[in-house]
Amino acid sequence: MSQIEIDPVTRIEGHLNVRVQLDQKGKVTKTLADFAEFRGFEKFLEGRLVHRAPIIVTRICGVCPIPHHLASAKAIDDGLGLELPERAEKLRELMLMGEILGDHTLHTFILAGPDFLLPELPFKQRDIIGVYRKFPEVVKQVVYTRAVGQKIIETIGVQAVHPMTAVPGGINRGFDEDTRKKLLGYLLEAKKNVIGWYDAVIAPIYEKFVDDNIELGKVESSYLGMSDSGTMSFYRGDISIIDKTGAKISEFKVGDYMNQISEEPLPYSFGKSVTVKGQPKDKSFVRTGPLARVNISKKTGTEVADKLLKELKGKYGSPVHGTLQYDLARYVCLVFAAERLEQLLSDSSITQGELKTPFKMKAGEGAGSCEAARGTVIHHYKWNDEGYITKANIITPTVINANGFEASLWSAANRNVSPGKVNEDNLWHEVGLVIRAYDPCISCATHLERALKVELLGADGKVKRVIGGN
C-alpha cells in the first residue's frame, strides 16, 4: 500500500493534513483527515472554578471565540437553573451575530473566495491579493464589514478576540443609547455591502462555480443544527437532527445530547467524530454548519435571507446535499446575520434593564449550545459545591463534520486518482475546495485525551527513552 499526503491544507484555521491511501494497484482505498494539533482544553478545565470557564475557553480559538464563550456560559446557567434578564440574552446574541458577520465574510472572500473568484489563475496563485486586484471595491467592503463585526464584539465583550463579559446569569457589560445608534449606523453600511455582494459576486461567480462542480465532494447525510421552532437561530432554541430525506429524526434540549449522538475517537488523529445514536448506518452519518442550518430551518425570519433560502431550496432541492453548496448556504447565513443584527440594534430596549441574575454557587451539571459559524457547538460541565469543575466535554462543529470531510475527500480523490495515474495538481486543488467548504477549525476540534508518546533523543539523534504512548 502507498499513500499520497497533502500537508498542510491551506486557508483553513489550524493544521490539517489529508492522506489518500492506495492499494498495490493504485486504487483509492481510504481517505483520512488528520487533525494534527493537540490542545486538550477539556482536561485544562478540570480543577478550575466553573465561573472562569467562559473566559478560559475563548482561548481555544482566535477565529471563533464567541460561540465557546457563550456555550460555556449557557452550560453554567443550565446547571444552576438560572433564568437570564431579556437584555442580557439580547446582548449575548448581538455579540454572537457580530462574530457570524465577520467570520462568514472572512471565509467567503479570504479563505474560500480565491478559488471561486480567480478561476483564471493557476491553483497556487489564488490568494486575497489576487482577489483585491480583481475586485478592489469589494475587498474594501469586506475589510469594513469585518471591522463592524469586530467592533460589535469589542463593544460588548471588551476584547474582540477573547471576550470576557458573559458570566453565569447574564453579562457584565452593556452600552448606552448613543452607542446603540452608532453601532446601528455602522451595521447598516455593512448590511448594504453584504446584500450587494449577491449581484456583484455570489450569483454570477459563486453560483456558477458551484454549478460547474456540483458533484465534487457531494454526499448525502443527516444534518444537525439549532433552530427556534423552525426559524433560523444561532443563540436560542433546541437542536434538531434530520435525515437525508429531510425527515426529522429528533429534536432535543442540549442537555439530552448524550442520548442522541455518540462521539468516537479517530485513532489516527487528535480529533473525534460524531454519529447519530440508534440509527442505521445511512442515517448515522451527520453534518452541521451552514448547510445544516438551511436544511433544518423552514424560514430565517428576516426579509432578504428568507428570499435567498427559498431560492436555494427551490433550485437545488431540500435537503441540499452538495458540499460546495455549503458556500452558498453560508451566504444565506451571512445575510441573515446582517439582518438579525439590524433587528437587535434597532431595539432600544437593549440599552435598558438588568444585566445579570444573582446566584449562589452550588454543585451542578449543565450543558449549553449555540451555533458557531461552522455549526453547532456544545459545552457540558460538572462541578462540585465549591464550584470546581470535575468533568468537561466540548463537542465542536469540526468534530461533528469529521465523517463528512472523509466522505467528501473520497469523492475528490477518486476524481483524480486511478490505477497508474495521479493528477497531483488537481487533487491538491479539489481536496482544498471540499475541505474549505466545511470551513473547519482544527484548533477547536482537538481535545482528545489520546495517549501521547514523547521520545527523548540523544546528541546522536537516537531515541534514548520513550515516555507514554500505547
Domain borders along the chain are 37-402
Helix (H, G, I), strand (E, B) or coil at 10: coil
Domain 37-402: CATH superfamily, name plus number = Cytochrome-c3 Hydrogenase, chain B (1.10.645.10)
Distances (CA, A) of 81 to 48, 169, 251, 387, 448: 20, 9, 21, 15, 29
Q: What is the pLDDT of residue 1?
A: 57
Q: What is the pLDDT of residue 269?
A: 86
pLDDT above 70 (res 451): no
What pTM was computed for the model? 0.94
Residue 38's pLDDT band (boundaries 50, 70, 90)?
A: confident
Query: Does residue 280 or residue 152 have the better pLDDT?
Result: 152
pLDDT above 60 (res 449): no
What are the residues whose beta carbons fall under 8 Å from the beta carbon of 81, sequence distance 6 or more? none
CA distance linking residue 376 with residue 14, whole number of Å: 19
CA distance linking residue 453 with residue 470, whole number of Å: 8
Enumerate the β-bridge partners of residue 19.
Answer: 5, 32
Q: Tell me what percent of the residues of the chain surpass a pLDDT of 70.
A: 97
H helices of 213-288, in order, are 281-284
389-395 β-sheet, strand order = 364-372, 375-383, 389-395
Residue 182's pLDDT band (boundaries 50, 70, 90)?
A: very high
**What digits encode the pLDDT tens for the residues 360-393?**
999 999 999 999 999 999 999 999 999 999 999 9
Average pLDDT over residues 246-254: 97
Residue 187's pLDDT band (boundaries 50, 70, 90)?
A: very high
Residue 265's pLDDT band (boundaries 50, 70, 90)?
A: confident
**Taking a C-beta distance cutoff of 8 angstroms, is the pair 102, 335 a contact?**
no
> Residue 324 CA to chain centroid, in angstroms?
15
Cell numbers representing residue 355 in the block: 444585566
**What digits encode the pLDDT tens for the residues 44-61?**
899 999 999 999 999 999
| Report for 26-35, 60-69, 378-387: range of highest mean pLDDT | 378-387
pLDDT above 90 (res 37): no
Determine whether 420 is exposed, middle or buried from the number of CB atoms within 10 Å of its CB (0-12, 13-18, 19+).
exposed
Give me the chain's average pLDDT, please: 94
**Taking a C-beta distance cutoff of 8 angstroms, is the pair 403, 320 a contact?**
no
Residue 124's pLDDT band (boundaries 50, 70, 90)?
A: confident
Three-state secondary structure readout of 170-191: EECCCCCHHHHHHHHHHHHHHH
